[in-house]
Amino acid sequence: MPKDSSGHLIGGLHTPRLAVPASIPRPYYVDVKDFDESGHGDLYNEEEIERIRAVSQIAAETLDILTAEVRPGVTTDHLDRVAHEYMVDHGAYPSDLGYRGFPKSVCTSVNEVICHGIPDNTVLEDGDIVNIDVTAFKDGMHGDTNRTYLVGDVRQEVRDLVDRTREATLRGIRAARPGRQVSVIGRAIESYAKRFGYGVIREYTGHGVGREFHSGLIIPHYDDPERFTDVIEENMVFTVEPMLTLGGATWKTWPDDWTVATADGSWTAQFEHTIVVRADGPEILTASPAGLD
């Protein structure tokens, strides 16, 4: 895969944007330069939650089918095409496509890329990891999820990072209960990550999702009760999506203005679910139908 003189990944070549049939409704923001997503609220009635659940399951199914596609020799562009075709075939619009100029249907973040990697002609190699972030839009709602995949024979240190990032995500989700501040989610994640000396990315967070791709609600992955004081309520919908690293928590943005990578080149993993908070605790709307989370 493309690398610079220091051995760090660099961007590859992009193929043309994939088409979406005109019969599939688009989110209002597609190819719109300036828009405001905030102010629409994060609480939902049961009919709305069912619509979020339905589109969240399309997103989760997309990740499931990608499991068979992630292997050495495959390009991230191929993964994008498979995901795009699955969403479109199920009547959903790929939420990423045309969002603030993003040119592809999913994000593919390899090795030291934290998030927002643009699919291109980068070829996955044995021992890599890749996070694929899928958001689907249908019936006026978005469902957002991501998963980190192992590519071939991955070294144990990285396997542990991936497994523990999945566990950190679930711990954060389990902490989400009505009446608690959202900071409790970050406390559960950070306290677990610190046991292994992992870096916890702070600037990229979970968010409210449903009517909007990003509602303005911030779900932190670290503990800061003085800053994050929003109180979790019953029937609130948002994502939990921690990014943990084998090194530091500082980052840099590539010249494409999208791809975010660790500043020290350390590898990073992420998992994400869309959840709804019920009276007795959280419900994962993007749970894998095949149990592949």
Mean per-residue pLDDT, 107-118: 98
How many angstroms separate the Cα of 230 from the Cα of each of 80, 137, 236? Answer: 35, 26, 11
pLDDT at 114 over 80: yes
pLDDT averaged over every residue in the chain:
96
User: Would you put residue 60 in left (φ > 0), alpha (ψ -120 to 50) or beta?
Assistant: alpha
The Cα 237–Cα 284 span in angstroms is 10
pLDDT at 117 over 70: yes
pLDDT digits (tens, 9 = 90+) for 254-264: 999 999 999 99
94: buried, middle or exposed (CB in 10 Å: 19+, 13-18, 0-12)? Answer: buried
The Cα 91–Cα 42 span in angstroms is 24
What does the pLDDT read at residue 3?
75
What does the pLDDT read at residue 5?
65
Tokens 């990229």 — which residue?
Answer: 204
pTM for this prediction:
0.97
pLDDT digits (tens, 9 = 90+) for 37-91: 988 899 999 999 999 999 999 999 999 999 999 999 999 999 999 999 999 999 9
pLDDT at 190 over 80: yes
Tokens 């839009």 — which residue?
Answer: 137
